[in-house]
C-alpha cells in the first residue's frame, strides 16, 4: 500500500494545465473553493508563503471544512502524490500545500510559484 510521499502545488494555467491522473496521484482543484488573493492588488505580487496572503485565504467562508475535505481526499490509501492546483500556482495552492505538508509531515514542492 502506497502512502503519501509528497504534495505539489501548481497552477492550471501553466504547462498545459494539471498533471495526469494516474494510479497513486490525486489532483485537487482549489480554484472555486477558497478566496483568491490575486483579486486584491496589494496581495497580487505576494505568494502563499506570505502571512498577508495566508490571512486572506483563511477568511474563506467554511475554511476549516473545506481544508478537512482536501486532507481527507489526499490521505486515502494508495495516494502517493497529491497535486493542489489553483489558477497561477502562486497563492492558494502554495498556502494549502504548505499547511497540509506541515500537518502531515510530508515534503512539499511548488511547481509554478516562480512563474509569471
* pLDDT tens digits, one per residue of 2-56: 699 999 999 999 988 889 888 999 999 999 999 999 999 999 999 999 999 999 9
- Average confidence score pLDDT of the chain: 95
Structural domain for 71, as ranges:
6-84+97-110
For residue 55, being part of any structural domain is answered with yes
What is the spatial distance between Cα 80 and Cα 58, in angstroms, rounded to a whole number?
Answer: 27
Q: How much is the pLDDT for 79?
A: 95
Query: How far is it, in rounded angstroms, from Cα 9 to Cα 74?
Result: 13
Is residue 19 domain-resident?
A: yes
Read off the pLDDT of each residue in 49-72 and give the average, rounded to a whole number: 98
In a domain? residue 40: yes
Residue 57 C-alpha from the chain's centroid: 12
Q: Is residue 92 part of a domain?
A: no
Report the pLDDT value the prediction gives residue 17, as an integer from 0 to 100: 82
CA distance 52 to 48: 9
CB within 8 A of 29, min separation 6: which ones? Answer: 12, 18, 85, 86
Domain count, the chain: 1
Does residue 77 form part of some domain? Answer: yes
Interval 76-110: pLDDT, tens:
999 999 999 999 999 999 999 999 999 999 999 99
Q: How confident is the model at residue 1, as a pLDDT?
A: 56
Handedness of CA 106, 39, 64, 73 (dihedral sign): negative
What kind and span of H or E run contains 28?
Answer: strand 25-29
The H or E element spanning position 86 is: strand 81-86
Q: In this structure, is residue 1 part of a structural domain?
A: no
pLDDT at residue number 90: 98
Query: Would residue 102 count as lying in a domain?
Result: yes
Instruction: Record the cell numbers describing residue 55, joined without a space.
Output: 490571512
Amino acid at each position: 500500500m502506497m502512502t503519501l510521499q509528497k504534495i505539489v502545488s501548481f497552477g492550471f494555467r501553466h504547462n498545459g494545465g494539471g498533471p495526469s491522473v494516474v494510479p497513486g496521484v490525486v489532483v485537487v482543484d482549489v480554484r472555486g473553493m477558497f478566496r483568491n488573493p490575486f483579486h486584491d492588488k496589494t496581495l497580487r505580487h505576494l505568494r502563499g508563503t506570505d502571512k498577508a496572503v495566508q490571512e486572506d485565504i483563511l477568511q474563506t467562508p467554511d475554511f476549516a471544512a473545506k481544508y478537512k475535505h482536501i486532507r481527507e481526499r489526499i490521505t486515502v490509501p494508495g495516494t502517493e502524490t497529491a497535486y493542489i492546483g489553483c489558477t497561477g500556482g502562486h497563492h492558494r495552492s502554495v498556502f494549502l500545500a504548505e499547511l497540509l505538508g506541515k500537518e502531515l509531515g510530508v515534503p512539499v514542492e511548488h511547481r509554478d510559484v516562480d512563474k509569471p
